[in-house]
Amino acid sequence: MMRASEARGVRVHVLADSGAVAACAAGIVGRACARAVETRGVFSIALSGGRTPVSLFRRLRNPKPGDVAVDWPRVQVFWSDERCVPPDHPDSNFGLAWRELFSTLSRQPALFRMRGEDAPEAAAAAYEQVVRARVAPRGGETGGLPCLDCVLLGMGGDGHTASLFPGSPALDERLALAAAGPAGASGSSHTRLTLTLPLINAARLCLLMVCGAEKSAVLHRALEVFSEPLLPVQRVRPCPGRLVALVDTAAWRGGA
Ligand code: 6PG
C-alpha cells in the first residue's frame, strides 16, 4: 500500500488494483467493526451501490488468513443509496449485496434496506426514521444526528457520490437525513433514494473507494481543485469523523 497524500484532509491510499482496494477496505471495516462492538456493542455501516463494492463484498464473503473477522450478528447494515426498484430487480443495490454477500453468510447481520419499491418520497422519509431509531448519536448526545460507524461511498464519472448528483436538490438538504431524487446523467434511469450530507458527514468514518482509469480525471479534480460549484464527492467532509479514500493505481495514474 502506498499512501499517496493527505490532500486537504483526505487520507488517500493508492493500491495496486481493485482487489487490493477490496482487501484494504475489508481490513478497515473489520477493525472499525471490532472497535465499535467493543465500545458500543454494535457496528452500523452503510453500503454504497454500483460495481466497485462487489470486490469488497466478495472479500468479506471469503476472508483470507489474517483478515479481521466481522462479527455479523453485531452489525446493522444500511445503504448509502438505492435505486427505486424492487429488491429483486437487477439494478437494486440491496439485491447486489444480498447476492454477493449476505445470502452466503451463516451468521446474519440486521439488514435495513431502502424500500425502492415504495413511493420515493415516502420511502426516504421512512428510511430516515429507521436510521434515527437504530443508530445512536455520537456520544449519546440528545438531539444529535445518528452517527454511523462507517459509510461506504463510490464516485461516479461526474463526481457524484451515493445518489447525490451534480445539481441535485438533495445536495443542499440540511434537515432530512434521506432524500429521493432523479439520477444524474451518469446514473441509471431510475429515480434514486440517498442518504444526505448531514447524515453522511456525521459518520465516524467515510470510506471512499475509486477504481478504474476512467475515474482518474474526476478523482484528481476532486482532490486538487476546489472551485465552485464543488463536486458532490467534495462535499463529503465528515467532522469530527474521518474521510479515507482508497484508490487503485489505474484511477491514480489514469491511462498512463
Ligand atoms: C449507485 C452508487 C453510486 C456509485 C458510483 C460509482 O447506486 O450507483 O451508489 O454512487 O458509487 O456511481 O459506481 P461504480 O462503482 O459502478 O463505478
- Model pLDDT for residues 38-59, shown as the tens digit of each residue: 999 999 999 999 999 999 999 9
Asked whether 201 lines ligand 1 (CB < 6 A), one says: no
Give the per-residue pLDDT at 233.
97
Determine if ligand 1 sits within 6 Å of the CB of residue 46: no
Q: Which of 89, 152, 161 to mutate to test the pocket of ligand 1 (most atoms within 8 A of CB)?
A: 161
List C-alpha distances in Å: 181 to 58, 196, 252, 256: 30, 11, 31, 36
CB of 50 shorter than 6 A to ligand 1: yes
Say yes or no: CB of residue 208 within 6 Å of ligand 1.
Answer: no
Mean pLDDT of 139-163: 92
**Mean pLDDT to the nearest integer, 152-181:** 96
Mean pLDDT of 219-236: 91
Q: What's the 8 CA to ligand 1 centre distance in angstroms? A: 23
Is 19:247 a contact under the CB 8 Å cutoff? no
**Pocket of ligand 1 contains residue 51 by CB under 6 Å:** yes
Q: Whose CA is nearest to atom 11 of ligand 1?
A: 154
Residue whose CA lies nearest to ligand 1 atom number 8: 50
Ligand 1 close to Cβ of residue 194 (< 6 A):
no
Write the residue with the smallest CA distance to atom 7 of ligand 1: 49
CA distances from residue 224 to 105, 217, 219, 228, 230 in whole angstroms, order as listed: 40, 10, 9, 13, 11
pLDDT band at residue 254 using 50, 70 and 90 as cut-offs: confident
* pLDDT over 80 at 121, yes or no: yes
CA of 50 to the centre of ligand 1 (A): 4
Q: Cell numbers for 160, please give them.
A: 457524484
Residue that wins the pLDDT comparison between 153 and 254: 153
> Is the CB of 92 within 6 Å of ligand 1?
no
Atom number of ligand 1 nearest to Cα 162: 10
| pLDDT-wise least confident of 24-38, 55-69, 83-97, 179-193 | 179-193
Indicate which residue's Cα is closest to atom 13 of ligand 1. 50
Q: pLDDT tens-digit profile of 127-150?
A: 999 999 999 999 877 779 999 999
Asked if 52 contacts 19 with a C-beta cutoff of 8 angstroms, the reply is no
**Is the shortest distance between the CB of 216 and ligand 1 below 6 Å?**
no
Report whether pLDDT(219) > 80.
yes
Taking the CA of residue 212 as reference, the ligand 1 atom at the shortest distance is 17
In percent, how much of the chain has pLDDT > 90?
A: 87
Residue 253 to residue 129: CA distance in whole angstroms: 42
Whether the CB-CB separation of 191 and 89 falls below 8 Å is answered with no
Q: How confident is the model at residue 225 (pLDDT cuts 50, 70, 90)?
A: confident
Report the percent of the chain where pLDDT is more than 70: 94
Cα 156 to ligand 1 centre (Å): 6
Contact between residue 73 and residue 108 where contact means Cβ atoms under 8 Å apart: yes
